[in-house]
Every structure is written in structure tokens, then in C-alpha cells.
């Protein structure tokens, strides 16, 4: 390489000489200056890379001078040219030295000095301090930083993949990365070449700030980067540096699930304060939060956490809420008070805030005084708790001492029957300490016998100190059970009647996870054990069925009767096909989640909304167990929120207005999911005033969205569709929550993107129903394979209402549109071959599919229907997504590619074509 450089540089020198001489004649020629500069630049750069550092240093001076000349900040004088020519000689001399040696050439120092004189110091650009100098010396300890990375929208256009930045941060230490998606727009206005995501990163590293800055060195101008040391270093290091990022993310996600459960059960209790199941479920969720927090704390060196750390707070208030709820759980306990339900809801909110603090590693803010009071929390923050095993040891120690003390007292009572007051006092003190410890450790099996003894003793003391035979037996019995309970704790056996943190895993497996936008990393799904077992079983069957084929092949080789083998082959094939179906169903079912995961947040929404609007709402949910594909579920939440908000805000009248109309003062809003012909229908039903079709038309005409005569001939069903026009609202006034006329069009677009449809039924005075029809899965759908012209297409089964074969003369022309009457109803008919410009084959009989898509129904004329097929629809890509008349393409069993029709857009195509 050094030889290659030498020969290249020696070639360059004559070029440099020539250019310099030419420049002497034409000092104003900028191209010549450039040529000189480039030659010097190459020698310097390549020289350094090839290891000629001395040469490179020398050439650097020369380059500096000509760089200034190039920028017009140094005049090209004879002096400069002279320096250049002398420098050439120096370079040549260095290059011609033997082997790899470098030494000072004759006259080199003179040239350097001359150059230094030439280049005025003031003209030198002020160099920024080099990046490499660390802003603070990298301590040998670790530091926790919060980094906010907000790329400009155009980031991708500089060839930067932000993931490389995140990966680099991960290499620096322990990085907890949260992707923020709040700036991602709806799909229709999303520019795929823009970067909408931004990230919050909590990083624990021992490499210092300079190393972090080095990660962003290329993107400083393309991103807003904020970096600061976390205020609470000790806690952040303890949590972030110990707990793997995935565990922490999982903890947050699970806790959020529990909070959702707390909320939904608290609301259920608000409706029915006597519901045991709701109370138990609420209690379990609170307990799980507490337990999980305990487990997390157990992994951390808690002594380093500040007392106000969110984790302590979380555990504290979970514990407090648990204690608050516990008295209501006993048999015959009184029903939960409304205030207690409110406290549970508020505590849930506070917990959610704490989780957010945890994610950001910011110290928790103080709880509202009122909540603290209601939770009966003392003001002082609890001291850091020792890890759970130490805690357990401490507990066992305390409890054993108490039991010993109590045992002594009991013996003295038993012996004299009438012991001194001091004995009683000692007994009670011991019991109280034990009770406190037991309650803190969640040991009701220990708490209960302690409570029995306390009751007996207190009664006895009030009665003057005498303890009867019966009471004595009670005390002894209770003492025995307390001892047994303590023994169980000591052995750490799993027979504890109470759920422990370790046992909550089961509770988690029962609840189904919801995907949260805040969770980082790959999208995960929690699978019910049962579904996985089924999958395993089917795979087992597949392996067995596979065994049939070698046997059959063997039979054929041995020359057995081909027709018999063919029969057996057919059977084996049928078996495989059945297994394939089951396999498909099993895998699909894993992607399926109950709509409950989305529905569960609505009761709270409705409650808060109703309160803020001063309305009374009875909210009911049906069909929460209906399952939908995870992808669809994740995207259906927002449209539903919108529909429910609308239903409550202007779907329902105010209570006094309702009374005036003879309706119950509290309005009903029902959210209902049900299966319907391979699809899922979600309905939002209200019993309000219904949509005013006339008002809708009037508004549309006013806004210039509709002409008067079209409005006049419009029926109600068509008029209801106007609500989906952007900018239209019938709300009398704009409220906080709705009525601005934005949204329904977005709702419809979102649903369309999911290949769903939305329908409105409404009756004046008795309410409105929005029906959202969704495919159960975006991946696999059933369809009818059909022939039109010379082409084959698939028509999704979910959109077909009827399929008939009718004589051609049954189709009539009416105002330029073909119409047909089928089973008493009249439909417009479109010919698929004509729509796509394919050859039309006249035939005495035509096949017509009655298609129902959204609010439109029409007949689709095709050559003939072939068969029912199950296809995996792949969306069209690479510019073809513009062809909206197709949902996508599917590969058939024999490898052919067939386009899948989009019934909604086919219809549109025809209408556009006519207009």
C-alpha cells in the first residue's frame, strides 16, 4: 500500500508543478487553484492513510495555505507559488527516501516557516474544540442519563436509520428505550418517507457523556437531542442498572393491565356494590400490583432507592388500598361504600401516574392529601424495605418472639385461670405486634387466630380479668393455629392460602394482554396455555399422518394394486387436509383476542363523560368474549371511542328532556359485539332522539356539500350517510367532547382501512345504532372464485348476500342503469367484465352476486361462479395500491395468482365511470 501511494504521489507531483507554474502566469484562475489544492489534498490524505505521517503533517500546512487561497482569503502571490514549488521538492525528497523511512528533508523547515508567515493567524478559521475531549472525566462508576431523541421529519433523507443510533446506545450500557408514537398521523395523511417516531431513552452507562455524544455526532443537525443526568442517580442506577429493560417493560405492561382491571371492577361495584366477584377481582388486581412491585423491588438493592421512589409509593398505596378493601371481603361484611369505590378509582389513577414516573425514572410527586387521608396513609415516607427474603426472615424472627411471649402468658393464664393484669397486657402487646406483622406479610391464616385471641382477651379485660373455661379453650385453639401458620411461613411452603407474588403468574396467564403503544421492543402476544396445547396436539397429529406416505410409496414400489393404493392415498390426503385446517384454525386463534381487551376501558370513559356532560347513562356491554384479530383490535379502539362519545354527547338527551318525552331519565348506551356470517359486528346503540335526516340534509346543503334537488330526492338511509362527510355536524352546540364535525369521516376511513364497513340505523325519537362490521382476520378470508371475461377473481364471501342464476331478460334497463328484481327486492346491476374492460360473452343466462358493502347493495354480473375458496389476501404494493377496486391478491392452491375484489370500491368505480 505504501508503494502504491509512493508511485501515485510521484505521479501527482509533476501535475502539481505544472499547475503551480500555470497559476503563476494566471493568478486569478480559480480552476487552477482548485487543481493545486486537489493534488495537495490527495497527497496529504492518502499519505496519512498509508502511514506517511511526517509527510502528511508537512503537506497539511501547504493545504491550509491553498485552501485559504481557494476561498479567496489569501492572495495568490509569487511568494505563495514559490512556497508551493519548494514544497514539491521537499515532498519528492521525502518520497524518494529509502524504504519506509521518513526523515526531515533539506529545506523543509524553511518552507514550513515561510508558509506559517504566509498564512495570517487571524485568517484561520476558529476551530471548535475537538469533540473527543470529554466534558467531564469519565468516572469509573456508572451514570444514568435521560435522552430524548426527536428526529426531524426528513431524517431518512440523510440516509440515517435511527435504529442504528438506538443500537449504538444499547451497546453503551443498559438502555431502556420508549418509542413515542403520538405524532404518527392517521394512515391517509402519513408520508412513509417521513420520520414521525421519537424516543425517550434512559441509559445507564459508565462511558460518560462524550460517548453518548459520539453516537449522535452525525445527526446533531437532523435531530433535537436533549440529554441530562437523572436527578436521582442512585435510584436510577439501582433500577435501570439491575432490571433488564425487557423485565421492566413487562412489569409496566402487566401493571397497566391490572390497573385496567381495577378500574373496570370498581365501576362494576359502583353499579352493584354487593357483587362478590367484582370485589374479589378488584382485590386480586390490587394484590397483584403490590406483589409484582414487591418482586421487582426484590431484584433491586433497595437501600439505594430514595424513599419517594415510584416503586415504594406504588407498593405503599397498593397495600393501603388492599387494607381498605379487605374488611369488605369477609362473609357478611357490609357492602362497599360509594366513597370507597371512588377511592379505588383514584388510587388506580395515582398508580398509573406512578408507573409513568417509573418509566421516566422521575421521582414520584406527593399523593393528593385527600387520597392519602382516605387511604389512611401516614405522611412520612416508608424507609427502604429490605429485599423480600430478608423481610421474610425478619418477619419470622419477630413472629417467633411474639409467639413465645404469648405462649408464656397463655400458660400462666391456664395455670391460675385468673392472672395478673400485667400478664394480660403482655399478651395483648404480643398479639398486636404479631397482628401487624402478619397483616404486613399478607398472612390471613396467621391474622385470623390472632384476632380471635385479641377479642377474647379484650372481652375478658373489660369483664374484670376473669377468663372462663370456654374462653380459655378458644385462646388455646387459636394459639395452636397461629403456631401452625407460623410453621408454614418458616417452611416457605406453597400452601399459603393467600396469593403470593409468585402465584400471580397464573392470574396473569388468565388475563389476556393488550398491546400498549408505550411498550417497546417487538410486539408480543400472550397466549392462553390451552391454545398452545391445542397447537401442539395438532402438530403431533401431523407428524403421525406424515408417516402414512412412506408406507404408501413402499406399497407402490412393491407393485400393489394401484387403485387400492390410490384410495389409501386419498384417505391420507384427506387426513392431512383436516390437520391443515385445524392447524390454520389453531394458529389463527392465537392471533385472536376477545374484544374485551378493547371494551374494558369504555365503562370509565362513559362514566367520566356522562359526569362532565351532566347526563345519566346506563352503559351496558355485550359479547365481550367475541374474538377479533389482534391487528384489528389494536386499531378499532379509537373509532369506537368516537362513536361512544358521540352517542353520549348528542346521542342522548339531558335527563329533564328525557323525562319530558316520557323516557327514563337515564339514557342507555349499549356496546355490543356479535358474530355474523364470518364477520364480527360491533354496535353502538343509544336510545336518544335519533338522527334528524332533514337537519343533516339542510346542513349539507348549507355547507355546499349537496345540491338542493339531490337532497329532496334523498331517502333517510342515504341522508344518514351524510354524517360521514368531512365538516358536517348536527350538534346544536359544540361541546368539549364532540360536535366539531371532525371525526366521523376519520372513523369511516379507519374502519375502511380494516376492510370493515359502518352502517347507521336510526329512528326519530327512539335512538340510533351504528354497526361496524369487521372481518375477524385481515389475513385469511373466504371468498367465491368466479370467472368474468377471461379472467378469474375472488369476491369476499362476507360481502355476498345472495347468488343467483337468472335469464338475461330478467335484467331491465332503467334510466341507463341495469336493474334486477331478486326475491322481491330491486338492485342496480353492474357487469364485472364491462367494469374491467374485458370481453363480454353474451349468454342466455347470467350469474349475479348480490353484494352488500357498507350501505350500498348492488348486483354484480359475472360469467359464472366456480367454487368457494379460502385465501390469504396479500395487500397490493409497489404503486398497485392505487387500484382500490382490489383488496389484494391471493395465491391459489395450484400457484395461480388471483386478484381479490373490493366490493365497496367496485361499486364506486362504476359510479365514477358514469358521472
Q: Which residues bind another protein (CB under 8 A)?
A: 1, 4-5, 8, 37-38, 41-42, 44-50, 53, 56, 60, 63-64, 67, 125, 127-128, 156-161, 163-164, 167-168, 193, 217-218, 221-222
Comparing CB distances to another protein, the nearer of 48 and 803 is 48
- Cα distance between residue 665 and residue 431, in whole Å: 54
- Cα distance between residue 377 and residue 283, in whole Å: 18
Q: What is the dihedral of CA 59, 61, 66, 72, to 10 degrees?
A: 160
Comparing CB distances to another protein, the nearer of 194 and 761 is 194
Which residues touch 328 (CB under 8 Å, ≥6 apart)? 279, 334, 335, 336, 340
Q: Is the dihedral of CA 319, 321, 325, 327 positive or negative?
A: positive
Q: Please tell me whether residue 123 adopts helix, strand or coil conformation.
A: helix
CB of 59 to another protein, least distance (A): 10
DSSP readout, 752-793?
A: HHTT-EEEEEEETTTEEEEEEEEES-SSEEEEEEEEETTEEE
CB of 180 to another protein, least distance (A): 21
Which grid cell sits at 811?
335484467
φ/ψ (deg, to 5) at 214 = -60, -35
φ/ψ (deg, to 5) at 178 = -115, 120
Q: DSSP secondary-structure letter at 892?
A: -
Would you say 679 and 773 are in contact if contact means Cβ atoms under 8 Å apart? yes
Q: Where are the beta strands (DSSP E) in 55-152?
A: 143-151
CB of 12 to another protein, least distance (A): 9
Comparing CB distances to another protein, the nearer of 8 and 622 is 8
DSSP readout, 346-362?
A: HHHHHHHHHHHHHHHTP
Half-sphere exposure of 794 (CA within 13 A, CB side): 25
Would you say 205 and 143 are in contact if contact means Cβ atoms under 8 Å apart? yes
- Cα distance between residue 811 and residue 834, in whole Å: 15
CB of 67 to another protein, least distance (A): 6
* Edge-first strand listing for the sheet containing 791-796: 864-872, 780-788, 791-796, 897-901, 886-891
Comparing CB distances to another protein, the nearer of 48 and 138 is 48
Q: Which helix (H) or strand (E) holds 897?
A: strand 897-901
CB of 155 to another protein, least distance (A): 10
CB of 867 to another protein, least distance (A): 41
Comparing CB distances to another protein, the nearer of 167 and 560 is 167
Which grid cell sits at 648?
353520549
CB of 156 to another protein, least distance (A): 5
- Cα distance between residue 175 and residue 245, in whole Å: 7
End-to-end CA distance of the chain: 73
Neighbours of 111 (CB within 10 A): 23
CB of 186 to another protein, least distance (A): 23
Q: DSSP secondary-structure letter at 874?
A: B
CB of 160 to another protein, least distance (A): 5
- Cα distance between residue 518 and residue 503, in whole Å: 26
Comparing CB distances to another protein, the nearer of 175 and 593 is 175
Nearest to 685 by CA among 668, 701, 698: 668
- Cα distance between residue 147 and residue 374, in whole Å: 37
Comparing CB distances to another protein, the nearer of 83 and 169 is 169
Comparing CB distances to another protein, the nearer of 1 and 25 is 1
Comparing CB distances to another protein, the nearer of 61 and 697 is 61
Comparing CB distances to another protein, the nearer of 168 and 792 is 168
Comparing CB distances to another protein, the nearer of 156 and 836 is 156
Strands 757-763 and 767-775, sheet pairing: antiparallel
Comparing CB distances to another protein, the nearer of 168 and 834 is 168
CB of 174 to another protein, least distance (A): 20
Comparing CB distances to another protein, the nearer of 167 and 404 is 167
Report the length, in residues, of the chain. Answer: 915
CB of 221 to another protein, least distance (A): 6
Neighbours of 841 (CB within 10 A): 11
Comparing CB distances to another protein, the nearer of 66 and 830 is 66
CB of 48 to another protein, least distance (A): 3
DSSP readout, 442-506?
A: T-HHHHHHHHHHHHHHHHHHHTTS---HHHHHHHHHHHHHHHHHHHHHHHT-TT-SS--GGGHHH
Comparing CB distances to another protein, the nearer of 44 and 857 is 44
CB of 677 to another protein, least distance (A): 44
Comparing CB distances to another protein, the nearer of 60 and 329 is 60
Q: DSSP secondary-structure letter at 47?
A: H
Strands 845-853 and 627-629, sheet pairing: unpaired
CB of 8 to another protein, least distance (A): 5
Which residues touch 531 (CB under 8 Å, ≥6 apart)? 586, 589, 590
662: exposed, middle or buried (Cβ count in 10 Å: 0-12, 13-18, 19+): exposed
Burial pattern 388-420, b for ≥16 Cβ within 10 A else e, equals beebeeebbebbeebbebbeebbeebeeeeebe
Comparing CB distances to another protein, the nearer of 222 and 447 is 222
Comparing CB distances to another protein, the nearer of 72 and 417 is 72
Amino acid at each position: 500500500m505504501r508503494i502504491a501511494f509512493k508511485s501515485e504521489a510521484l505521479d501527482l507531483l509533476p501535475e502539481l508543478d505544472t499547475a503551480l507554474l500555470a497559476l503563476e502566469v494566471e493568478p486569478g484562475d480559480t480552476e487552477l487553484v482548485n487543481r493545486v489544492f486537489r493534488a495537495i489534498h490527495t497527497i496529504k490524505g492518502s499519505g496519512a492513510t498509508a502511514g506517511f505521517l511526517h509527510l502528511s503533517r508537512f503537506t497539511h500546512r501547504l493545504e491550509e495555505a491553498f485552501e485559504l487561497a481557494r476561498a479567496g482569503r489569501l492572495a495568490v502571490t509569487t511568494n505563495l507559488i514559490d512556497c508551493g514549488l519548494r514544497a514539491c521538492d521537499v515532498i519528492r525528497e521525502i518520497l524518494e527516501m529509502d524504504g519506509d523511512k521518513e526523515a526531515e528533508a533539506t529545506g523543509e523547515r524553511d518552507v514550513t516557516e515561510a508558509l506559517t508567515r504566509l498564512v495570517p493567524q487571524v485568517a484561520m478559521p476558529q476551530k471548535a474544540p475537538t469533540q473527543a475531549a470529554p466534558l467531564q472525566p469519565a468516572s469509573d462508576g456508572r451514570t444514568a442519563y435521560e435522552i430524548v431523541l426527536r428526529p426531524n421529519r426528513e431524517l431518512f433523507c440523510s440516509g440515517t436509520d435511527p435504529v442504528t443510533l438506538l443500537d449504538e446506545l444499547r451497546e453503551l450500557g443498559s438502555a431502556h428505550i420508549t418509542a413515542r408514537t403520538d405524532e404518527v398521523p392517521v394512515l391517509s395523511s402519513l408520508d412513509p418517507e417521513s420520520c414521525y417516531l421519537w424516543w425517550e431513552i434512559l441509559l445507564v452507562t459508565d462511558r460518560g457523556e462524550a460517548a453518548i455524544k459520539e453516537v449522535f455526532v452525525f445527526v446533531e443537525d437532523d435531530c433535537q437531542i436533549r440529554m441530562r443526568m437523572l436527578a436521582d442517580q442512585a435510584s436510577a442506577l439501582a433500577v435501570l442498572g439491575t432490571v433488564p429493560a425487557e423485565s421492566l417493560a413487562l412489569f409496566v405492561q402487566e401493571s397497566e393491565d391490572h390497573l385496567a382491571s381495577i378500574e373496570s371492577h370498581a365501576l362494576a361495584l359502583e353499579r352493584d356494590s354487593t357483587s362478590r366477584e367484582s370485589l374479589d377481582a378488584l382485590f386480586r388486581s390490587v394484590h397483584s400490583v403490590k406483589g409484582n412491585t414487591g418482586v421487582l423491588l426484590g431484584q433491586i438493592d433497595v437501600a439505594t432507592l430514595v424513599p419517594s421512589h415510584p416503586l415504594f409509593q406504588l407498593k405503599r398505596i397498593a397495600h393501603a388500598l388492599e387494607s381498605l378493601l379487605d374488611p369488605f371481603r369477609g362473609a357478611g361484611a357490609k357492602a362497599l361504600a360509594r366513597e370507597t369505590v371512588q377511592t379505588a378509582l383514584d388510587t388506580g389513577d395515582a398508580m398509573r401516574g406512578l408507573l409513568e414516573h417509573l418509566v421516566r425514572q422521575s421521582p414520584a410527586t406527593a399523593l393528593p392529601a385527600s387520597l392519602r387521608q382516605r387511604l389512611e396513609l401516614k405522611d412520612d415516607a416508608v424507609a427502604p424495605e429490605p429485599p423480600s427474603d430478608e423481610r421474610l426472615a425478619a418477619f419470622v424472627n419477630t413472629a417467633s418472639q411474639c409467639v413465645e411471649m404469648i405462649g408464656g402468658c397463655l400458660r400462666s393464664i391456664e395455670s391460675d385461670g385468673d392472672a395478673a393484669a400485667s400478664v394480660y397486657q403482655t399478651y395483648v402487646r404480643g398479639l398486636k405486634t404479631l397482628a401487624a406483622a402478619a397483616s404486613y406479610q399478607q398472612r390471613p391464616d396467621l391474622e385470623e387466630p390472632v384476632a380471635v385471641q385479641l377479642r377474647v382477651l379484650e372481652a375478658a379485660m373489660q369483664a374484670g380479668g376473669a377468663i372462663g373455661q370456654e374462653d380459655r379453650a378458644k385462646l388455646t385453639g387459636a394459639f395452636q393455629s397461629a403456631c401452625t401458620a407460623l410453621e408454614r411461613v418458616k417452611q416457605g411452603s406453597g400452601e399459603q392460602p393467600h396469593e403470593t407474588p409468585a402465584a400471580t403468574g397464573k392470574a396473569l396467564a388468565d388475563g389476556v394482554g393488550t398491546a400498549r403503544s408505550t411498550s417497546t421492543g417487538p410486539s408480543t402476544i400472550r397466549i392462553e396455555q390451552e391454545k398452545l396445547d391445542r397447537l401442539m396436539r395438532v402438530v403431533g397429529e401431523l407428524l403421525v399422518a406424515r408417516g402414512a406416505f412412506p408406507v404408501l410409496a413402499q406399497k407402490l414400489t412393491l407393485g400393489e394394486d394401484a387403485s387400492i393404493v390410490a384410495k389409501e392415498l386419498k384417505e391420507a390426503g384427506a387426513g392431512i387436509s383436516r390437520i391443515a385446517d385445524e392447524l390454520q384454525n389453531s394458529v389463527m386463534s392465537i392471533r385472536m383476542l376477545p374484544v374485551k381487551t378493547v371494551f374494558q376501558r369504555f365503562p370509565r370513559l362513559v362514566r367520566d363523560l356522562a359526569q362532565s356532560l351532566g347526563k345519566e347513562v346506563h352503559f351496558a356491554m355485550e359479547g365481550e368474549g367475541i374474538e377479533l384479530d389482534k391487528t384489528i383490535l389494536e386499531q378499532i379502539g379509537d373509532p369506537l371511542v368516537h362513536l361512544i362519545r358521540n352517542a353520549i354527547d348528542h346521542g342522548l338527551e339531558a335527563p329533564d328532556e328525557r323525562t319530558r318525552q316520557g323516557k327514563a331519565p337515564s339514557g342507555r348506551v349499549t356496546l355490543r359485539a356479535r358474530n355474523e356470517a364470518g364477520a364480527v359486528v360491533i354496535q353502538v346503540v343509544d336510545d336518544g332522539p335519533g338522527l334528524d335526516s332533514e337537519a343533516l340534509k339542510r346542513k349539507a346543503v348549507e355547507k355546499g356539500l349537496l345540491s338542493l334537488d339531490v337532497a329532496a330526492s334523498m331517502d333517510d338511509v342515504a341522508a344518514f350517510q351524510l354524517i360521514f362527510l368531512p365538516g358536517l355536524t348536527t350538534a346544536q352546540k359544540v361541546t368539549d367532547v364532540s360536535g366539531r364535525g371532525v371525526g366521523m369521516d376519520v372513523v369511516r376511513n379507519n374502519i375502511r382501512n380494516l376492510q370493515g364497513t359502518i352502517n347507521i340505523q336510526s329512528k326519530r325519537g327512539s335512538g340510533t345504532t351504528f354497526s361496524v362490521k369487521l372481518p375477524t382476520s385481515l389475513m385469511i378470508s373466504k371468498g367465491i372464485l368466479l370467472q368474468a371475461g377471461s379472467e378469474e377473481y375472488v369476491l369476499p364471501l362476507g360481502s355476498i348476500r345472495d347468488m343467483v342464476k337468472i335469464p338475461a331478460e330478467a335484467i331491465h334497463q332503467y334510466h341507463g342503469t341495469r336493474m334486477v328484481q331478486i326475491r322481491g327486492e330491486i338492485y342496480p346491476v353492474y357487469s364485472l367484465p364491462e367494469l374491467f374492460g374485458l370481453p363480454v360473452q353474451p349468454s342466455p343466462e347470467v350469474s349475479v352476486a348480490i353484494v352488500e358493502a357498507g350501505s350500498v347493495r348492488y348486483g354484480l354480473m359475472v360469467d359464472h361462479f366456480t367454487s368457494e375458496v379460502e385465501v390469504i389476501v396479500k395487500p397490493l404494493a409497489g404503486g398497485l395500491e392505487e387500484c382500490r377496486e382490489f383488496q389484494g391478491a391471493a395465491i391459489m392452491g395450484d400457484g395461480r395468482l388471483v386478484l381479490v375484489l373490493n366490493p365497496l370500491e367496485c361499486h364506486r368505480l362504476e359510479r365514477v365511470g358514469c358521472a
